[in-house]
């Protein structure tokens, strides 16, 4: 009888294990609702599994599943994809993607929101986010129609709710088997809880400040009512906040002591950001009802808007709906909101360093990540994350590893701080090119704290329990109490789990040398 291979992990060190997932290609299920190149995808998935990867993440596009008409769902493409992934021994993170895929410069995949919804937009273009000039953005429905029954008698929130309920009914076997670990609920452009303030389709170029997106008739009416109720019927939406590619100082709104610091400016920014919080709250409540009792976690994604972070005005964050200033925390209210729904905050730009950014953008990705992760941990919720750009170098991997365990590993048990999981963006032939993939495999091992892959999530303290009901609604005043800035947790300077075995910029060893010779493509 052959002896079974001994387990090579250390139980105490397993408490430091951070699971790693890989984002599937945008068209893993194509616009025709079939799995793309099945043979190639299967080969790639098996390579990920052999590398110790815990699972994959995929968009479940509304524009594909409900394309034929209201409540006419076709889950066949996703059932095929899920079966393929499951057969390859990987777990699944599924994104309820209610936004358009593609349409920006260089995008090779285009999956719009359903045609029957866009048809309604032909006669009522105000169902889409709108900037001050009246340009519409068909990537996602404006939150102004969340509760308007404009869609064959349904509201936008009811559409999202029905979609998630149908997903649960049609994927019940995958849910019950423990294959689907989490459901990320799309809440805006790119699936993120934000306004589409920096659309490349409308000419935005990094590091433009972006524009407020609240000039559709529904949000205009909402603002007028809010201003009147506050005793200021004369207040209007901003007309001095500039255009997509302006710098803050070029605008009256964001310049030093500009409109954003006035009573009127503060009222607007509070209204604008609160609308976003309410939007997330409502849809998460529906998600909770849809997946109640399933052994999984809910998650939402918050965008890593790191440009202009190191200015007084934080202009790019403000236009996106994150009312974050040096004396006002715009992210902790989101984290506090998630406590109600037992949800995970998924944040991005984990791979970025300040030193890699141009000085003109006043970027602070490291401080931003530290702030948002700390906010989540202070509110006692889990935080997950991903990289913003595809990177294959040791400097990027080491930065992700540092953020995954900011104070390092603990050989005697759980580390002081640990991210819930990291999703690597994304599966491609570039990632699987041998030099890149060899380094990625080391990265996976370091995410696992040098322990071997384990399928049992309990072993690293991810105890998946049936999703409990959402708690009672948190009063707005209580959410806004958390805007008071708090000190972030301290971060180590470098990870103690470097992919190159040495610290420092670019890392040491052969891989560090190679990644300095061949820097990633920006």
**How many CB atoms lie under 10 A from the CB of residue 503?**
16
Does the annotation count 386 as an active-site position? Answer: yes
Sign of the dihedral defined by the CA atoms of residues 401, 402, 407, 408, in that order: positive
For helices 76-87 and 38-50, give the axis angle rounded to 10 degrees: 40
Distance of CA 165 to the CA centre of its chain: 22
Q: Which of 139, 211, 286, 386 is catalytic?
A: 386
306 is in an annotated binding site: yes
Instruction: Please check whether residue 405 is in contact with residue 17, taking contact to mean a CB–CB distance below 8 angstroms.
Output: no
Q: Residue 47 to residues 36, 90, 112, 159, 217: CA-CA distances in angstroms?
A: 18, 11, 31, 37, 50
Does the annotation count 192 as an active-site position? Answer: yes
Q: What is the DSSP string of 305-359?
A: --TTTTSSS-HHHHHHT---BTTB-SSHHHHHHHHHHTEEEEE--TT--GGGS-G
476 is in an annotated binding site: no
H/E element, 521: none
Q: Residue 59 to residues 157, 306, 414: CA-CA distances in angstroms?
A: 19, 24, 32
Instruction: Please check whether residue 264 is in contact with residue 153, taking contact to mean a CB–CB distance below 8 angstroms.
Output: no
Instruction: Please check whether residue 486 is in contact with residue 378, taking contact to mean a CB–CB distance below 8 angstroms.
Output: yes
342 is in an annotated binding site: no
348 is in an annotated binding site: yes
Instruction: Please check whether residue 142 is in contact with residue 129, taking contact to mean a CB–CB distance below 8 angstroms.
Output: yes
39 is in an annotated binding site: no
Residue 487 neighbours by CB under 8 Å, 6+ apart: 374
426 is in an annotated binding site: yes
Q: Please give, one letter per residue, the 3-state secondary structure of 240-285.
A: CCCCCCCCHHHCCCCCCCCHHHCHHHHHHHHHHHHHHHHHHHHHHH
Residue 99 neighbours by CB under 8 Å, 6+ apart: 62, 113, 139, 140, 186, 188, 189, 190, 191
Scanning 384-461, the segments in alpha helix (DSSP H) are 394-404, 429-432, 434-447
- Count of positions (residues) in the chain: 522
| Distance of alpha carbon 249 from alpha carbon 495, whole angstroms | 37
Q: Which of 66, 139, 184, 192 is catalytic?
A: 192
| Distance of alpha carbon 446 from alpha carbon 509, whole angstroms | 15
99 is in an annotated binding site: yes
In sequence order, the β-bridge partners of residue 23 are 57
The conformation of residue 97, written as its DSSP 8-state character, comes to E
Q: Residue 205 to residues 159, 161, 344, 478: CA-CA distances in angstroms?
A: 33, 34, 30, 37
Residue 269, CB half-sphere, CA atoms under 13 Å: how many?
A: 29
436 is in an annotated binding site: no
Show which residues are catalytic: 192, 386
> Residues forming the annotated binding site for substrate?
59, 99, 107, 301, 306, 348, 387-388, 426
């Amino acid at each position: 009888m052959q002896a079974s291979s001994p387990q090579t992990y250390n139980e105490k060190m397993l408490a430091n294990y951070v699971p790693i997932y890989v984002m599937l290609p945008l068209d893993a299920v194509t616009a025709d609702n079939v799995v793309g190149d099945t043979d190639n995808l299967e080969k790639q998935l098996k390579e990920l599994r052999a590398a110790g990867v815990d699972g994959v993440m995929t968009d479940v596009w509304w524009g594909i599943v409900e394309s034929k008409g209201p409540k006419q769902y076709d889950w066949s493409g996703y059932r095929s994809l899920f079966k393929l992934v499951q057969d390859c021994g990987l777990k699944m993170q599924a994104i309820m993607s209610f936004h358009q895929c593609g349409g920006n410069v260089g995008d090779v995949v285009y999956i719009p929101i359903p045609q029957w919804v866009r048809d309604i937009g032909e006669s009522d273009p105000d169902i889409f986010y709108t900037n001050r000039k009246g340009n519409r953005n068909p990537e996602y429905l404006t939150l102004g129609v969340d509760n308007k029954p404009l869609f064959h008698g349904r509201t936008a929130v009811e559409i999202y709710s029905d979609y998630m309920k149908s997903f649960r009914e049609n994927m019940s076997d995958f849910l019950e088997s423990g294959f689907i670990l989490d459901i990320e609920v799309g809440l805006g452009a790119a699936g993120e809880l934000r306004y589409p303030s920096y659309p490349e389709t409308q000419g935005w170029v990094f590091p433009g400040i972006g524009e407020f997106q609240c000039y559709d008739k529904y949000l205009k009416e909402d603002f007028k009512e809010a201003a009147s109720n506050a005793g200021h019927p004369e207040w209007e939406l901003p007309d001095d906040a500039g255009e997509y590619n302006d710098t803050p100082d070029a605008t009256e709104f964001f310049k030093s002591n500009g409109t954003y610091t006035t009573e009127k400016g503060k009222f607007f920014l509070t209204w604008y950001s609160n609308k976003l919080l309410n939007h997330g709250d409502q849809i998460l409540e529906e998600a909770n009802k849809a997946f109640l009792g399933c052994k999984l976690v809910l998650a939402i994604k918050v965008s890593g808007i790191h440009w202009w972070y190191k200015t007084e005005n934080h202009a790019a964050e403000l236009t996106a709906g994150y009312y974050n200033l040096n004396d006002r925390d715009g992210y902790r209210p989101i984290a506090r909101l998630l406590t109600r729904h037992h949800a995970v905050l998924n944040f991005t730009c984990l791979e970025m360093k300040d030193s890699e950014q141009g000085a003109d953008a006043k970027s602070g990705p490291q401080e931003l990540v530290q702030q948002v992760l700390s906010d989540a941990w202070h509110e006692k919720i889990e935080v997950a994350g991903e990289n913003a750009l595809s990177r294959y170098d040791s400097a990027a991997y080491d930065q992700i590893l540092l953020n995954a365990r900011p104070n390092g590993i603990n050989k005697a048990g759980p580390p002081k701080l640990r991210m819930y999981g990291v999703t690597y963006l994304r599966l491609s032939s570039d990632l699987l090119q041998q030099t890149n993939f060899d380094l990625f495999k080391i990265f996976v091992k370091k995410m696992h704290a040098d322990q071997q892959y384990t399928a049992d999530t309990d072993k690293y303290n991810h105890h998946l329990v049936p999703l409990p009901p959402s708690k009672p609604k948190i009063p707005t005043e209580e959410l806004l109490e958390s805007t008071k800035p708090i000190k972030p947790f301290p971060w180590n300077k470098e990870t103690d789990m470097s992919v190159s075995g040495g610290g420092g910029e670019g890392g040491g060893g052969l891989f560090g040398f190679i990644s300095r010779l061949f820097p990633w493509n920006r």
